[in-house]
Structure 1
């Protein structure tokens, strides 16, 4: 309750607040120490470690074999991710199927490919031409009509793509399923009420909203796939970036410079993919980050006196501190 002094003086007006910035000296000290450590590490790499052999790095950075290996790595990444995304969407839909057999098959697929290391899976795919030497087509329990040699039909490049794609599809299925579940069920019900079919509901209502959740982890999976291609040597496929640098290092006996060359190429391609991921996220996040402006007061905030205190007919009572108190009656909201 606001009160006034007996002399009728108005309360003092609001005063501006002078904020004093809180100092954090230890942050500056910590940042300085980090800069010194990084500078010492870079100096040591440049001048005190001949094993890095930077001239060798420059010599093979744009070598034809390295560039060709980077191209194979990029192909493995793109082809595997395309197959993984298509298969992952199918498995995500199967997981939500009311048919228990279909849902169980999808669950077993996820359990198998997420529960075993990708390197082990690639080794098995490399052994497919040995396990299944031929692919026979025909009527069961009769003589084969067509018999194909597995080694001629499936190259190591194809087997590497299949192994990477099947493993990645298990993770993409969970990403897509999480995106679909993030959309409110009311969106689906509203689409049905408007007479939209399943395809139009998914393509025009559900998926555009789910993409906001799907894109970020999918971008991470693409970057992860780029680095996972270094494991295709288990198939064995040795024409990728990691395989080519290893072949060159086996001849020059300079493994460290060649590892630096491969790392620089991986970093370059990863940086490009991160830029693409940023713009994709920005595109599918349109309208999500927009929020209405905070409503501002129409009048300046100031001290407000109690209604009726300046009226001489309003009875007041003295308080122990020398102030006058306005009773609750004869005021808006008060008693009679």
Structure 2
């Protein structure tokens, strides 16, 4: 049978759902990562061994750990640790800001003084600073304010001022200010120079430029670095035991001398409390960083609860897809 010239033969159109059927039939195979699975298995095995050792080793005396964990004596030492940490962190950060501004000022005297202070206290061990302040009254029985090489207007009895708490807070604050100054200075220098130029072009006062423009932007860089310092400060409070201040560690040491069989449980109690404190600081750090990330990133980092919900939603969708296939 012949067809007339010019006849065009049209192929039958495929069904509308043909591409989806083809894609559903061809499952994408994920990239195989044997090294990742091997490392995951090793980590899980080691973690299980560590947990098993902690739970079954009678040397840790977990019953005595439970007895000491919430004892009023240790809780009193914990309150002293929190008080010393809070005061030292606030005074250290304030001193660090002043030192950083002095280091960035146009006065060569202020720059030299700030650099010398930072160099000195970063070089001297903290325990030496605390012991030196604890014995400061042996060098200077009285402190006075007045004209140099002239009459004194106000005189203080150093032995009355230098209580154990004062020595601990002053020593930690002096040491913390030296490190905080470098953290703050680095954060200020991280702010783009165009921000300073724009503020100058608007004729804003220097104080307003710093408090409303420069410092809020610098906090994005200052926060994670200073939180590291704050965590180190929490652990450094254990040194105040050497200036006769019974903080958490000092109280545990005293109880360990009285009850020598409970030294290990007491050390575990101290360890767990320090883990709790540093974990709480890390949580606060996350939300502070998230707050100051507004305007600097397209989307804020998800919170742990948001991550959990996203993972749960992804798991449900995956199960639904598997059931549909």
TM-score range, shorter chain: 0.7 to 0.9
Q: How many residues align?
A: 276
Unaligned residue ranges in structure 2 (runs of 5+): 1-21, 300-325
Residues 83-138 of structure 1 show CA distances to partners (whole Å, capped at 9, x for unaligned) of 11111111111111222111111111111011121122112111112222222455
Structure 1 distance, partners of 2:293, 2:67, is 44
Report the secondary structure of 1:135's partner residue.
strand
Aligned counterparts, 1:162-311, within 5 A: 162-234=170-242, 236-253=243-260, 254-290=262-298
Question: What CA distance in whole angstroms lies between the structure 2 residues aligned with 1:211 and 1:32?
Answer: 40
Q: CA RMSD in A?
A: 2.2
**Pair 262,202 (structure 1): closer, same or farther in 2 beyond 3 Å:** same
Unaligned runs of 5+ in 1: 1-14, 292-336
Shift of 1:26: 3.5
Residue 157 of structure 1 deviates from its aligned partner by 0.8
Q: Structure 1 residues 137 and 94 mapped into 2: Cα distance closer, same or farther (>3 Å)?
A: closer
Q: Kindly tell me: are residues 148 and 30 of structure 1, through their superposed partners in 2, closer, same or farther at Cα, counting changes over 3 Å?
A: same
Q: For residues 272 and 83 of structure 2, what CA distance do their matches in structure 1 show?
A: 18
Alpha-carbon shift at residue 33 of structure 1 (Å): 2.6
- Cα separation, 1, equivalents of 2:223 and 2:39: 36
Matching residue of 1:123:
131
Quick check: 1:62 aligned with 2:81?
Answer: no
Shift >3 Å, 4+ stretches? 15-20, 136-148
Q: In structure 1, which of residues 6, 22, 28 is the aligned counterpart of residue 37 of structure 2?
A: 28
Which SS does the other structure have where 1:188 is aligned? helix
Larger radius of gyration: 1
- CA distance in 2 between counterparts of 1:60 and 1:20 reads 54
With over 3 angstroms needed to count, the CA separation of the structure-2 counterparts of 1:290 and 1:154, relative to structure 1, is: same
- Bigger Cα displacement from structure 2, 282-291 vs 256-265: 282-291
Structure ranking higher in helix proportion: 2
Q: Is residue 2:142 matched to residue 1:134?
A: yes
Per-residue CA deviations over 1:47-80 (Å, capped at 9, x if unaligned) read 2x32211111000100001111111101111100
The one-character-per-residue Cα deviations of 1:116-164 (angstroms, maximum 9, x if unpaired) are: 2112211211111222222245565567666533221110110110110
TM-score, normalised relative to structure 1: 0.77
The whole-number CA distance in structure 1 between the counterparts of 2:293 and 2:40 is 34
Q: Matched residue of 1:20: which SS?
A: coil
Give SS of 1:132's match. coil
Deviations 1:168-215 (A, max 9, x none): 111111111111111122211211221211111111111111111111
- 8 A contact 1:129–1:150 mirrored in 2: yes
